[in-house]
Structure 1
Amino acid sequence: MSRLPIDGSFGEGGGQLSRYAVALAAISGRPLYLRNIRARRAKPGLMAQHLTALRAAAEVGGGLLEGAELGATEIYYEPGRIRGGEYHFDVGTAGSIVLVLQGLLPVALHADGPVHLSITGGTDVRMAPPVDYLRLVFLPWLVRMGVRVHMESLRHGYYPKGGGLVQLQVEPCSSPRPLLAEAPGALQRISGVSHVAHLPLHIPERMAAAASAVLADFDAVQIETRVLGDTEAFGTGGAIVLTAETENSVLGAATVAERGVPAERLGEDVGHSLRAELNAGAAIDIHACDQLLIYAAQARGISRFAVRKVTEHTRTVIWLVEQFLPVRFSVEPWQGLYRIEVSPG
């Protein structure tokens, strides 16, 4: 079978496209030639976290990955047999564990047996979802689709050294249930977690208070505040993750603590992000949307869900998935939102 050429600069053109391209090649059995990797970025080519993600997906997916080195702008991947078993991957920096899993989980679901993953790196880093977003928002959506994933966040890790540790147990599920989420239903509760490591307690308290103030006209907001010690975290850092649970959905918003950025601003930002989803009446938040598309594309039926905005990430993933899988996407305005429909080919 000839290699499928994919332009890594298409659309959003970032690391997500590269991670999903290798994952989709493994799932579909289609050989891949990926070129122009992150071509429009200030530092084009593969960085440490991208490299780990591609190597991890290729290792679980079997086959042969060529050209995957730091700074590489093109790679070749010949898929093989996707195997269950135990795997350990180390980003080697504070590169995001969650982004590594973004390309690894879809492959693991096609393994010939359970997959046990142990990944070290950054759990709460800029330009990536914090690990608590994965735990509180993204994985619950997969559970609704019939996917069985058990995750333990054993140690948090931050920029610049990483050192976080996350373990997962993944049961095979090559054809999940359709994702149906058009109307969120009544709000049940807003909760979350605001944490720091090796920093004063007043910082997560201030983040939580600012977020709660933005959401004050909703029912009582309950945000847990925590300070992590030596056994729970490596280095200093923090994050705040909020969830809004409704009758039919879970919406999330998150941000990572940054040196020099006031705790109040971080809390306000994440509060306004969640408020935007609630005010719009969305059933899936804009960040979960692009991450769930690859699973909806493999479902054994039609998926439909409503989002408040179609991001460039989402449009890029739609284009990429259609290159590999026999699936049709439709995106159309619907009741002040956008409805995305995913139909098996």
Structure 2
Amino acid sequence: MSISSNSIVLEGHRNFRLRLILATLSGKSVKIIKIRSNDLNPGLKDHEVSFLRLLESVTNGSHIEISYTGTTIIYRPGIIIGGEVTHNCPHSKPVGYFIQPMLMLAPFSKKKFSIVFKGITNAGDETGVDAIKWGLLPIMEKFGVRDCLLHVLKRGSLPEGGGEVHLLCNSLIPTPLTIHAIDIPKFSVIRGVAYCTRVSPSIANRMIDAARDVLKPTGCEVNITADVWRGENSGKSPGFGITLVAESKKGWRLVVENVGQAKSLPEDLGELTALQLMTEITQSGAIGRYQLIISLIFMVIGKEDIGRINIHKSEVDDHLIYALRDIKEIFGSEAFLAQDEEDPDFMILSLKGSGFTNVSKKVA
């Protein structure tokens, strides 16, 4: 990686959305080269092009150049303006793929964000709308973003979709708060939602019963609701899934979700998700895997102060390392990892804020 012609040059398609979000927040131009250059189908995929269109619609003055082969892109960011947008998501990715990065931009916009996303609401390869609602929005509250809502207007299961989700962010802040989450939370309540579209309502209850059987010995209060969708609001395809959330008294949450595949049984899905939640509780600090990247973004654009979060050693994986590299490349902030003195299985991740201020709001 090098810097040429005032653009930060990055390589490959990994962390595509994160790099563009970091560039937008920092105001720095990026050039991403060798995007799937060795693949049989080189260049940008349809969902990445769709994301670029979305980014263009919520910013003013952004300039995007894509090479003839689609393997190189130059992005010069403009000002985040937000406003009312309707975005049709391709069926290759669920709406969560597009909502997640928008959560990182929405609080630092000129106008309030009001985006309606149309497409698939839950899929196994990306964060679903329930996990965003239960897991990411509460984390944003910790950083001072208090009024951000996600409404599921229609459910849309794989493969045809037909779902609609409304993201509304009324909280415009100049700078995120500095976070110090170094204590491992004790979880007292397990909540969740089991949904189904265009199938028998009993499927949701079967998932709930299976999950409750696994979670009963924990001694936690278990409250899982059935979310049955019928008629026009249930999308175009049959499907089901379950999202479970462990919640502490101080408002920290860990999320696990699964979507039913072809020939999978609701009981197996409920049991698997409950077991995964237990694993997630054991192998997470204050911040879970789902929430780690958004936490790092808010930490790096915070005040010039050092924020700290407690993470489990198993959370230090390729995904985290690549994200920290991109943060260092674009913002120049380097994370420091130190072993927790009280428990060798946990680490304290420290990251200094860059002193970001909401330029878009000043212009308003």
Question: TM-score, normalised to structure 1's length?
Answer: 0.90
Inter-CA distance 175–281: structure 2 relative to 1 (3 Å threshold): same
Alignment of 1:194-233 (within 5 A): 194-218=194-218, 219-233=220-234
Write the deviation string for residues 151-200 of structure 1: whole angstroms up to 9, x where unpaired.
21111112222221111222333421123322243322111001110111
Contact 2:175 2:302 in 1 (8 A): yes
Provide the C-alpha distance between the structure 1 equivalents of 2:39 and 2:127, rounded to a whole number of angstroms: 20
Secondary structure (helix, strand or coil) at the match of 1:327 reads coil
Write the deviation string for residues 58-99 of structure 1: whole angstroms up to 9, x where unpaired.
332331112289x83321111122213212211132522111
Quote the offset at 1:105 in angstroms: 2.6
- Aligned partner letter, 1:87: V
Quote the offset at 1:38 in angstroms: 4.9
Contact 1:135 1:151 in 2 (8 A): yes
1:166 aligned partner? 165
Secondary structure (helix, strand or coil) at the match of 1:23 reads helix
Unaligned runs of 5+ in 1: none
- Aligned partner letter, 2:98: V
- Aligned partner letter, 1:328: E
Contact 2:157 2:197 in 1 (8 A): no
Inter-CA distance 256–36: structure 2 relative to 1 (3 Å threshold): farther
Inter-CA distance 180–231: structure 2 relative to 1 (3 Å threshold): farther
Write the deviation string for residues 126-170 of structure 1: whole angstroms up to 9, x where unpaired.
201110000111111101211131221111112222221111222
2:350 aligned partner? 341
Runs of 4+ that moved beyond 3 A? 38-45
Alignment of 1:158-307 (within 5 A): 158-170=157-169, 171-218=171-218, 219-234=220-235, 235-248=237-250, 249-280=252-283, 282-300=285-303, 301-307=305-311
- Aligned partner letter, 1:2: N
Secondary structure (helix, strand or coil) at the match of 1:319 reads helix
Inter-CA distance 226–168: structure 2 relative to 1 (3 Å threshold): closer
- Aligned partner letter, 2:191: S
Contact 1:95 1:162 in 2 (8 A): no
- Count of aligned pairs between the two proteins: 338
Unaligned runs of 5+ in 2: 355-364
Quote the offset at 1:281 in angstroms: 6.0
Provide the C-alpha distance between the structure 2 equivalents of 1:157 and 1:223, rounded to a whole number of angstroms: 21
Secondary structure (helix, strand or coil) at the match of 1:258 reads coil
Provide the C-alpha distance between the structure 2 equivalents of 1:285 and 1:43, rounded to a whole number of angstroms: 34
Provide the C-alpha distance between the structure 1 equivalents of 2:320 and 2:39, rounded to a whole number of angstroms: 19
Secondary structure (helix, strand or coil) at the match of 1:254 reads strand
Provide the C-alpha distance between the structure 2 equivalents of 1:243 and 1:74, rounded to a whole number of angstroms: 40
Alignment of 1:1-345 (within 5 A): 2-9=6-13, 13=14, 17-38=15-36, 45-62=43-60, 63-67=62-66, 72-93=70-91, 95-147=93-145, 148-170=147-169, 171-218=171-218, 219-234=220-235, 235-248=237-250, 249-280=252-283, 282-300=285-303, 301-308=305-312, 309-334=315-340, 335=343, 336-345=345-354
Contact 1:124 1:238 in 2 (8 A): no
Question: TM-score, normalised to structure 2's length?
Answer: 0.85
Question: Sequence identity of aligned pairs in percent?
Answer: 23
Inter-CA distance 152–39: structure 2 relative to 1 (3 Å threshold): farther
Contact 1:242 1:274 in 2 (8 A): yes
Provide the C-alpha distance between the structure 1 equivalents of 2:18 and 2:276, rounded to a whole number of angstroms: 26
Contact 2:135 2:255 in 1 (8 A): yes
Inter-CA distance 149–68: structure 2 relative to 1 (3 Å threshold): farther
Provide the C-alpha distance between the structure 2 equivalents of 1:117 and 1:138, rounded to a whole number of angstroms: 17
Secondary structure (helix, strand or coil) at the match of 2:324 reads helix
Provide the C-alpha distance between the structure 2 equivalents of 1:281 and 1:20, rounded to a whole number of angstroms: 22
Contact 1:94 1:163 in 2 (8 A): no
- Aligned partner letter, 1:332: A
User: How much is the aligned-residue C-alpha RMSD, in angstroms?
Assistant: 2.3
Contact 1:22 1:103 in 2 (8 A): no
Inter-CA distance 103–186: structure 2 relative to 1 (3 Å threshold): closer
Larger Rg: 2
Write the deviation string for residues 252-291 of structure 1: whole angstroms up to 9, x where unpaired.
1111111122222222221122101323462121222123
